[in-house]
Amino acid sequence: MSDQFRSLFTREREFESRVHTELTQRSRERLASITNISDKLSNSALSELADEAGMSTIAEASEKAEHYEFMFNADTVLALSYIEHYFRIGWNRTSSIHSPCSKSDLKEIRNKIEDVLITEGLLWEIENGRGTIRFQPLESEAMESMDKKVQALAEEEPWGDALKGYNDAFERYLAGDFDELIPKKLYNSIEEVLKTICVDLERWTDDRDMSHAKYLDLLNEHDVYSANGITAPELGSLLDSLEKMVNKVGYDRKQRHAYHDRAYCTLLIHQVGAYLYFLIGRYDDYSS
């Protein structure tokens, strides 16, 4: 057996997605620690949640209805619902002299929760609301699956260097740096994949400074897109849009705030990851 060969069993365990629709163990630990304000708040939140979901549901996650045990064992939706109840009750009690926390304390807790969502790659966001926390799903599990696939490709020759831009963009995303560099790095990654195919592998041209449209024309001329699915014009439209973003923010600083949006960056990374995976996969079909 070749040393380079890795079966599906190994590949599935080798590359874990950097984003998650379900709470990970570390994110559970962080969220449990951040929201551990008082036993009274915890008991009230669990009691309200039991009224909503049923006592047996609570008991399945925590027989003793205890904060840490519940956060570690409850399914994702139930754990996040518990935090929503916890935060709302805590906010409503801030006017009491016996309140275990102030509104400023809760605002800081909210900021810490948002930081966990971002840095742990959780595909959830907090909807704006005074005195409440409302979790909303940010993307589907399709992004989770796509990231695993692109990471696996990045470990194979000759795609590692070409996919560096995608990985750099993803690292900025996980760091909470939702800025103009994300579309720029994603655009560069697609361009580098096109150059790797057209210049380095197939030698259809030795010009590494052509427009992306000309590289796409070369792929089309050589029937790389012969199979059903996405077409060269569709990929060209994506690249045109990314190029306009890059050029616009490069010349107009006022436009840079438009990319400081987690939901938008999530969509962009997911879309570009899917195109990269398609493009490399279509070339692999062509060359085999």
DSSP of the chain? --TT---HHHHHHH---S-BSS--HHHHHHHHHHT---HHHHHHHHHHHHHHH-HHHHHHH-TT--HHHHHHHS-HHHHHHHHHHHHHHHHHTTTSTT-SS-HHHHHHHHHHHHHHHHHTTBSEEEEP-TT--EEEE-S-HHHHHHHHHHHHHHTSTTTTTTTHHHHHHHHHHHTT--STHHHHHHHHHHHHHHHIIIIIIS-S---TTS-HHHHHHHHHHTTTT-SSS--HHHHHHHHHHHHHHHHHHHH-GGGGGGG--HHHHHHHHHHHHHHHHHHHHHHHHHH-
Q: How far does CA 247 lie from the centroid of its chain?
A: 25
pLDDT for res 228:
42
Residue 229 confidence (pLDDT) above 60: no
pLDDT for res 50:
93
pLDDT for res 184:
86
Residue 271 confidence (pLDDT) above 70: yes
For the beta carbon of residue 261, count every other beta carbon within 10 angstroms: 12
Residue 84 confidence (pLDDT) above 90: yes
pLDDT tens for 198-211 read 999 999 999 999 88
Average pLDDT, the chain: 83
Instruction: For residues 18-39, give the mean pLDDT.
Output: 93
> Residue ranges per domain, the chain?
25-137, 141-287
Provide, rounded to the nearest whole percent, the portion of the chain with pLDDT above 90. 43
Residue 232 confidence (pLDDT) above 70: no
| pTM, 2 dp | 0.72
Distance CA 260, CA 282 (A): 33
pLDDT for res 11:
54
pLDDT for res 204:
95
pLDDT for res 240:
67
For the beta carbon of residue 64, count every other beta carbon within 10 angstroms: 7
* Burial label, 161 (beta-carbon count in 10 A; 0-12, 13-18, 19+): middle
